[in-house]
Each structure stands twice: as structure tokens, then as C-alpha cells.
């Protein structure tokens, strides 16, 4: 193993889930390193705005909240596709995890009596979303980063993982490329825990950062892990028209109105009881329907109006939203409504794992948006994504430390397996650098994004899904002859983009195929040719395994129930 660094646990991904897991592994006495393709404080977790859910019961107008109510709202919001015992874990653990972050220094907004402030969010029966103005993710990310620095945790920044190494079916390390130098190295570990975020950049219109390509999800898939429920893609109702920058659900939680080109609030047509505070899938489809039926503004948007809240409230509770609207749309929301449209926002599906992060591949764990614990089902409630990173990041860290300390994997990745994987990756990258005759990755990427947005978007049907599957297959063929614009080693982002595109095409294919075979409408997956939810045939998870030739093989597993019987989902 000479020249190959070893850690008990190697965490790939430096966002909230990865950092929370790292703290837990370290505190259990195991050696841990975090490898991240960007500096951790640049992780996409920092872009989360609106808040994190917990049944603290602090809101003065809401009565008594409970974890049971939170679990029910989560399961109903999921359109009954969530695994119910795990949704209960999410809700039960929420107060402890949020208060833990407060005690570690997270700067939450407060009610006048000093308690953590909570605001209403869509699909919730109680105002339980704790927030730090409209910069909650930023606060939580920096708080966990400080906790990691305090503990002296090892960070390997700007290392892009190209491969998860397995030996005899067990994960035991990774091969990664150092972005500043172009060096490829192998890293050994008893346990590999991936926490790489979502893959929103598969779509053209997305709130996701450029780094959200799903590279670790694809690496896990190639290493033998199954992917679950990939057809369930959340489209956030309110992204800034023209740029798709997120306009947090907290804007509507504070009382914002959605208004069409006729000057009318329209959510009473779609969710008469809760209006703008319906779950995201319902609000997103409502906005798109208004646009498609000619009641949107020219170009295809509606307006998000908060002028009635007043300047003081906007400046105190939504300062980031105001700044973004002014900087990127030339609109001061104190004076004018904000132009918004739906955009891809979150992936409910991901690497299939249990409540402790364990996947089908021994020694490989997953946490955060790249995983599918199946607490979100067909539609995630706002405020549950930050919570998931804290709850299941902690649990995955516990389990990773336990496995690493059990002595059951001392020979999980011997030197020859890592050396062989490293040699193969070096050969593939070198061949790519030398190739001069071929197509540039950006053209393939744009065609993929356009195909997914147009054919596997908010509204789907069988014909468009068939077209998408066929087109992605053609793009994968084109990718075989992809060529770089430059073969230089240092900071070659064309190389990184090209390597990531391989995985993006795989994830796009699985998403489109899952959308094609699921012949019902449930949560975020809306088939216009199958407009009803079908619990008789489709109360089950879609599972994708990598088959021969890299083609996905689809299978199913039943949803795990815990007494919450599916009912009609109305708001």
C-alpha cells in the first residue's frame, strides 16, 4: 500500500451531509478524511434558503406541534411513496438535530421571546420551519465547517472522484483527480461514504449549482449500487425568470402571493384550502398551467408579489431574496413583483440505502441528496432537505464508524486492486487528453439538458418519454468520440466536465426510463396520459441496476408501510 493514503472512513462530498457524518466519525474515534471537488463552504448546501423543519412548537399561533404530525405531513407530501418508518425517524430526530446546530453556533432567526423562529411552509399542518432569515443553508454549512476545523478533520479539497474502487464486491477506496495539478491518486478506506448532492444539471432550467452533476451517484451506480426512484424530480415553483435562481418557499411562507397576467391570485383553483402553501409539485404545475393556458406574462412566467409585506419585513426576513431580485432581475420586491417560473430543484431519487446509509455494496454508504433513504417519496416537502442532511448524515456517520471499528474490513481494498483501478483511470484520462478528433462535450451536454427539460419535465407522456430514452441513447453513442479542447493538466475543467458528462448521461437515461415505465401520476411525476395515482399497481419503488453493456435494468420494491394508509391527497 506504499504511496496510498488510508483512512478508516473516506467521505466523498463536503456539503452538509458529508460534514455532519465527518463530525460523527471523528467523535467515534475513527480516522476520517473528506474529499471534495470544491472547497466545502462552496458546496450547494449553502444555497438552501428557506429553513429546516422540526416540531419545536415555537410558533405562537399554531397550537401544539408533534413529531407525529411532522411524519404524517412528510408521508402525505410524498404522495405515500415514502418508506414510512424512515419518515418517522426523520421527524423524531429533527428537534435534537436542529437544537444541536443551534448549540454549535448556527445563527437562527428568533421570536421576540428568544425562541427559534418558525415559519409556515408548503404541505405542513403546522409552522415548523426554523430559519436564519433566507440564508439558512449558509448558516448551517458554515457552522458544521467550523466544527470540522475545530476537530482538525482532514480535508482533501479540489479532488474529483472518478471511481469508487471495489474488491470482491466490497468498496474499499476511491480514485480521484486533483483539479489544480491533474494528478490521479488512489485513497484507501475501510468505508466509503458518499455525500455528493443532486444531479440537477442534467436539466437546462435548474436552481442547482454547476457542480451538481451527480458524479458520485453515477460512480456508486458503476460500482454496483442500485438507484431508487430516479423519475421523481422536484421542480420548484418559484425560480427567478431568466436565470432560475431559487426564490425560496419562505417568500410564500411569509405571505407572498402568486399572481397571473390578469392580475389575479390563482392558487384557489388548485389548492383552495392552503393556496400558495400547497406542496411544491402542486404549485409548480399550477404555475405552468397558468402559463400554458395563456394567463402567464409574455415569455412564460407569473409574478410573486410581496409588496404588501412592507419594506421592514422584507429587509429583515427576506434580505437575500431582495438582493437577488435586484441584482439579477432589476426588480426591487419592495416596489415591484418578482417574475418567477418553475425550474428543476431537487432529486428525490438517488443511491438506494437504509436509514443508516448502507447500500447494496458492502462498505459503501450514502447520505444527503445523492442518497434515497426514501423519506421524500414522490415529492419532498420544503424544509425537509436540510433536515435530511443532519439526521441521516449523523446516522450514516455513526454506522460508518461502527463498520470501520468492527475489524471486518481490514483487507477490503488491497494494494493491487487500488493500483489496478488507478492504472485504468490514468489510461482512460490520458487517452482522452490525446484525442484530437471528436465532438466537444458541451454540445452533447446541451442536447441532453434540452431533451430532459422538454420531454421529462413537469408534464410528461409516454411518447415524449420514449423520445427521451432514444435520444439519450444516441447521446451516449456520441459521447464515445468526445474530445477535449486542451490536453493540459492543471485546472482542466473541460476534462472534468467531460468526465462528469458520462455519469450525467447514465443518470438522465435512468430518469427518462423510470418516467416511461411508471404509468401513473404521483407527486412530482405527472403523466398526462395516466393522470391518476394508481396504488394498486404502482405503490412501489423503481429500482435501477447497471446491467451488461452499462444498460439499466429496472425492478421494483414495495413501499414500507407503518400504519399511514394512502388517501386522496388534497390541500
Between 549 and 163, where is the model more confident? 163
Instruction: Give the H or E element holding residue 558.
Output: strand 552-558
CA dist., res. 524 & res. 96, Å (int)? 30
Q: Does 3.40.50.720 match the CATH number of domain 417-538? A: no
Is pLDDT of 137 > 90?
Answer: yes
Helix 84-103 × helix 384-405 angle, to 10°:
90
User: How many Cα neighbours within 13 Å face the side chain of 147?
Assistant: 24
What pLDDT shows up at residue 407? 66
For range 108-132, the mean pLDDT = 95
Is pLDDT of 23 > 60?
Answer: yes
Chain centroid to Cα 475, Å, comes to: 24
Instruction: Give the H or E element holding residue 35.
Output: strand 32-36
What pLDDT shows up at residue 165? 96
Do 282 and 270 form a contact (C-beta atoms < 8 A)?
yes
For range 82-99, the mean pLDDT = 98
- Give residue-wise pLDDT tens across range 261-278: 999 999 999 999 999 999
CA dist., res. 263 & res. 305, Å (int)? 11
Handedness of CA 266, 278, 520, 450 (dihedral sign): positive
CA dist., res. 326 & res. 193, Å (int)? 40
Do 472 and 451 form a contact (C-beta atoms < 8 A)?
yes
Nine-digit cell string for 194: 458518499
Phi first, then psi, for residue 82 (nearest 5°) are -70, 145
Is 426 catalytic? The answer is no
Detail the DSSP E strand segments found in 212-370: 227-228, 233-240, 257-259, 302-305, 338-347, 350-352, 364-366
Helix 493-517 × helix 415-434 angle, to 10°:
100
Total residues found in the chain within this entry: 571
- Delimit the domains of the chain by residue range: 238-342, 417-538
- 361: region left, alpha or beta (phi > 0 left; psi from -120 to 50 alpha): beta
Is 26 catalytic? The answer is no
Between 139 and 412, where is the model more confident? 139
CA dist., res. 329 & res. 331, Å (int)? 5
Give the number of other CB atoms < 10 A from CB of residue 210. 12
- Give residue-wise pLDDT tens across range 298-348: 989 999 999 999 999 999 999 999 999 999 999 999 999 999 999 999 999
Nine-digit cell string for 186: 488512489
> Mean pLDDT over all residues of the chain?
95
Q: What's the distance, Cα to Cα, between the start and end of the chain in Å?
A: 59
CATH of the domain spanning 238-342, picked from 3.80.30.20, 1.20.1250.20, 3.90.700.10, 3.40.50.150? 3.90.700.10
Active-site residue, from 97, 252, 280, 445:
252
Judged by DSSP in three states, 372 sits in strand
Phi first, then psi, for residue 36 (nearest 5°) are -140, 140
Is pLDDT of 497 > 80?
Answer: yes
What pLDDT shows up at residue 60? 87
- Give residue-wise pLDDT tens across range 220-253: 999 999 999 999 999 999 999 999 999 999 999 9
Radius of gyration of the chain (CA): 23
Lowest-pLDDT range of 33-42, 60-69, 329-338, 421-430: 60-69
Between 3 and 75, where is the model more confident? 75
Give the pLDDT band (50/70/90) at residue 408.
low
What pLDDT shows up at residue 2? 46
Do 161 and 66 form a contact (C-beta atoms < 8 A)?
no
For range 493-502, the mean pLDDT = 97
Is pLDDT of 63 > 90?
Answer: no
What pLDDT shows up at residue 1? 39
- Give residue-wise pLDDT tens across range 364-407: 999 999 999 999 999 999 999 999 999 999 999 999 999 998 86
Which segments of 250-361 does DSSP mark as H helices, in order?
Answer: 250-253, 280-292, 311-317, 319-329
Contacts of 509 (CB under 8 A, 6+ apart): 469, 472, 473, 476, 552
CA dist., res. 557 & res. 541, Å (int)? 5
3-state helix, strand, coil in the chain (%, to 5): 40, 20, 40
What pLDDT shows up at residue 61? 78
CA dist., res. 189 & res. 194, Å (int)? 12
Give the number of other CB atoms < 10 A from CB of residue 181. 11
CA dist., res. 351 & res. 369, Å (int)? 9
Active-site residue, from 59, 135, 138, 236:
236
Do 365 and 357 form a contact (C-beta atoms < 8 A)?
yes
Give the pLDDT band (50/70/90) at residue 486.
confident
Amino acid at each position: 500500500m506504499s504511496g496510498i493514503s488510508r483512512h478508516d472512513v473516506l467521505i466523498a462530498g463536503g456539503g452538509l451531509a458529508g460534514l455532519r457524518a465527518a463530525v460523527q466519525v471523528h467523535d467515534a474515534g475513527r480516522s476520517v478524511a473528506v474529499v471534495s471537488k470544491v472547497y466545502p463552504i462552496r458546496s450547494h448546501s449553502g444555497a438552501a434558503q428557506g429553513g429546516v423543519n422540526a416540531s419545536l412548537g415555537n410558533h405562537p399561533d399554531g397550537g401544539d406541534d408533534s413529531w407525529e404530525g411532522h411524519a404524517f405531513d412528510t408521508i402525505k407530501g410524498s404522495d405515500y411513496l415514502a418508506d414510512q418508518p424512515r419518515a418517522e425517524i426523520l421527524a423524531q430526530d429533527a428537534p435534537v438535530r436542529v437544537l444541536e446546530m443551534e448549540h454549535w453556533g448556527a445563527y437562527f432567526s428568533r421570536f421576540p421571546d428568544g425562541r427559534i423562529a418558525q415559519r409556515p411552509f408548503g404541505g405542513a399542518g403546522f409552522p415548523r420551519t426554523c430559519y436564519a432569515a433566507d440564508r439558512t443553508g449558509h448558516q448551517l454549512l458554515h457552522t458544521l465547517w467550523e466544527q470540522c476545523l475545530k476537530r482538525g478533520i482532514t480535508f482533501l479539497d479540489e479532488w474529483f472522484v472518478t471511481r469508487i474502487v471495489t474488491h470482491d464486491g466490497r468498496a474499499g477506496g476511491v480514485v480521484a483527480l486533483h483539479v489544480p495539478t491533474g494528478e490521479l491518486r488512489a485513497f484507501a478506506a475501510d468505508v466509503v461514504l458518499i455525500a455528493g448532492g443532486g444531479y440537477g444539471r442534467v436539466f437546462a432550467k435548474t436552481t442547482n449549482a454547476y457542480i451538481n452533476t451527480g458524479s458520485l451517484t453515477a460512480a456508486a451506480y458503476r460500482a454496483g449500487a442500485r438507484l431508487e426512484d430516479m423519475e421523481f424530480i422536484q421542480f420548484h415553483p418559484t425560480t427567478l425568470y431568466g436565470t432560475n435562481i431559487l426564490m425560496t418557499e419562505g417568500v410564500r411562507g411569509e405571505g407572498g402571493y402568486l399572481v397571473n397576467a390578469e392580475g389575479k391570485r390563482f392558487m384557489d383553483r388548485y389548492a383552495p384550502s392552503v393556496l400558495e402553501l400547497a406542496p411544491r409539485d402542486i404549485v409548480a404545475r399550477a404555475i405552468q398551467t397558468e402559463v400554458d393556458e395563456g394567463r402567464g406574462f409574455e415569455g412564460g412566467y407569473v409574478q410573486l408579489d410581496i409588496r404588501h409585506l412592507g419594506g421592514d419585513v422584507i429587509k429583515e426576513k427576506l434580505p437575500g431574496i431582495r438582493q437577488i431580485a435586484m441584482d439579477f432581475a432589476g426588480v426591487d420586491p419592495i416596489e415591484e413583483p418578482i417574475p418567477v417560473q418553475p425550474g428543476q430543484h431537487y432529486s428525490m431519487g438517488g443511491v438506494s440505502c437504509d436509514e443508516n446509509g448502507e447500500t447494496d455494496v458492502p462498505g459503501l454508504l450514502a447520505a444527503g441528496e445523492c442518497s434515497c433513504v426514501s423519506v421524500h417519496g414522490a415529492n419532498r416537502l420544503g424544509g425537509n432537505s436540510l433536515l435530511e442532511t443532519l439526521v441521516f448524515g449523523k446516522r450514516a456517520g455513526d454506522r460508518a464508524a461502527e463498520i470501520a471499528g468492527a475489524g471486518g474490513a481490514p483487507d477490503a481494498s488491497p494494494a493491487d486492486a487500488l493500483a489496478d483501478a488507478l492504472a485504468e483511470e490514468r489510461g482512460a484520462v490520458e487517452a482522452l487528453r490525446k484525442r484530437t478528433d471528436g465532438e466537444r462535450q458541451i454540445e452533447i451536454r446541451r442536447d441532453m439538458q434540452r431533451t430532459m427539460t422538454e420531454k421529462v419535465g413537469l408534464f410528461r407522456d409516454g411518447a415524449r418519454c420514449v423520445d427521451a430514452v432514444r435520444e439519450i441513447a444516441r447521446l451516449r453513442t456520441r459521447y464515445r468520440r468526445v474530445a477535449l479542447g486542451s490536453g493540459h493538466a492543471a485546472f482542466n475543467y473541460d476534462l472534468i466536465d467531460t468526465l462528469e458528462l458520462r455519469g450525467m448521461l447514465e443518470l438522465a437515461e435512468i430518469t427518462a426510463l423510470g418516467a416511461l415505465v411508471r404509468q401513473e401520476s404521483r407527486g412530482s411525476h405527472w403523466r398526462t396520459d395516466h393522470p391518476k395515482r394508481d396504488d394498486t399497481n404502482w405503490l412501489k419503488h423503481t429500482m435501477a441496476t447497471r446491467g451488461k453493456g452499462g444498460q439499466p435494468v429496472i425492478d421494483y420494491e414495495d413501499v414500507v408501510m407503518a400504519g399511514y394508509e394512502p388517501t386522496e391527497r388534497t390541500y
